[in-house]
Structure 1
Amino acid sequence: MIIIVIGLVILVAAVVVGAAGVLSDTGSTDGLTDWFEVFGYHVTGSSGTLFLHGTIVGAVALFGLSLLLAGAWRTSRRSHVARHGLKQSRREMAAADKERDGLIDQRDTARAETASARGNDSPSHDDLVPDPDEGHRKGLNLFGHRAARR
């Protein structure tokens, strides 16, 4: 983020210096016979000197633009990786939920078959042993611990 800000500041400064140089040009002659001022700095000399200053301002603008684009690319790449990781995590969560639901269905089916095989007349071992989760809050256990048996 800071690279984007630095690049933007450098680019804006180069554009302002270039615009000030163009707007202060009177355009009366081909050569530089007069001086002009950019931010309190008096510029005098030949057309070659003016070309050199323009080249330097252009190079600074190009550097600022490259910093701006590099920062934007890094930010977008980081966002892309985060979105990809989120999609992968959601797929894994959905698969785990599906597997959990399948195991719960298998357990319920096995209990029903066991109860029907015994004829439901005598209490089974599963009926005598209380479920450790029964009577406790169902849902998310923040630390992954289960309630102790009583």
Structure 2
Amino acid sequence: MFVIIGLIILVVAVVVGVAGVLGNAGGGHTLTSDGFTVFGYHVTGSTGTLFLSGIVVGAAAMIGLSLLLTGYRRTARRARTARHGLDESRRRTAAVSRDRDDLIDRRETDGARSDQPQSDAGRSDGHHHRWHPFGHHPVHR
């Protein structure tokens, strides 16, 4: 929003300034005799009036430029925040993928061990134990 408004103000100020300079060039447009024209609008006045008009056009250009830069700064900040969020998300996804791969490897190695016969004779609690994914064990009641 700021970018569009700033761009419009800046373009209008530049067009008015350029039109004022190009429309009043030459010896027939001396300020002391005729005044000056912008877009066909004839302004009579002194050098001070012309100077004041230049200040107004310059101030409008500066306001437009500052709005334009403010909008770009906000857009850049949002983009930077989004990139940081995307990087963080990718790091988390990579960590979760590594954890998943580790669990799969662990399951495969535990599965290979469970293929071998095991005896429950050495257990004193009398419960049958099975392999649980993610290392969870049932709660004894």
- What band does the TM-score fall into relative to the shorter chain? 0.7 to 0.9
Tell me the CA shift for residue 36 of structure 1: 2.7
For 1:79, give the aligned amino acid. Answer: A
What are the superposed Cα offsets for residues 108-148 of structure 1, whole Å, 9 maximum, x if unpaired?
211211221349xxxxx97xxxxxxxxxxxxxxxxxxxxxx
Relative to 1, partners in 2 of residues 1:25 and 1:40: Cα closer, same or farther, differing over 3 Å? Answer: closer
Alignment of 1:1-150 (within 5 A): 2-28=1-27, 31-118=31-118
Tell me the CA shift for residue 26 of structure 1: 3.8
Q: Report what 2:126 is aligned to.
A: none
For 1:64, give the aligned amino acid. Answer: G
Asked if structure 1 preserves the Cα contact closer than 8 Å seen for 2:3 and 2:71, the reply is yes
Q: Aligned partners of 1:31, 1:113: CA distance in 2, in Å? A: 101
What are the superposed Cα offsets for residues 47-92 of structure 1, whole Å, 9 maximum, x if unpaired?
0110000000000001001111111111111111111111110011
Relative to 1, partners in 2 of residues 1:26 and 1:112: Cα closer, same or farther, differing over 3 Å? Answer: closer
For 1:17, give the aligned amino acid. Answer: V
Fraction of identical pairs, as percent: 56
Asked if structure 2 preserves the Cα contact closer than 8 Å seen for 1:32 and 1:44, the reply is no
Task: Look up the SS of the partner of 2:37 in the other structure.
Answer: strand
Tell me the CA shift for residue 31 of structure 1: 4.1
For 1:19, give the aligned amino acid. Answer: V
Q: Aligned partners of 2:75, 2:16: CA distance in 1, in Å? A: 29
TM-score (norm 2): 0.76
Runs of 4+ in 1 over 6 A off after TM superposition: none
For 1:20, give the aligned amino acid. Answer: A
For 1:24, give the aligned amino acid. Answer: G
Asked if structure 2 preserves the Cα contact closer than 8 Å seen for 1:7 and 1:65, the reply is yes
Count of residues paired in the alignment: 123
Asked if structure 1 preserves the Cα contact closer than 8 Å seen for 2:17 and 2:54, the reply is yes
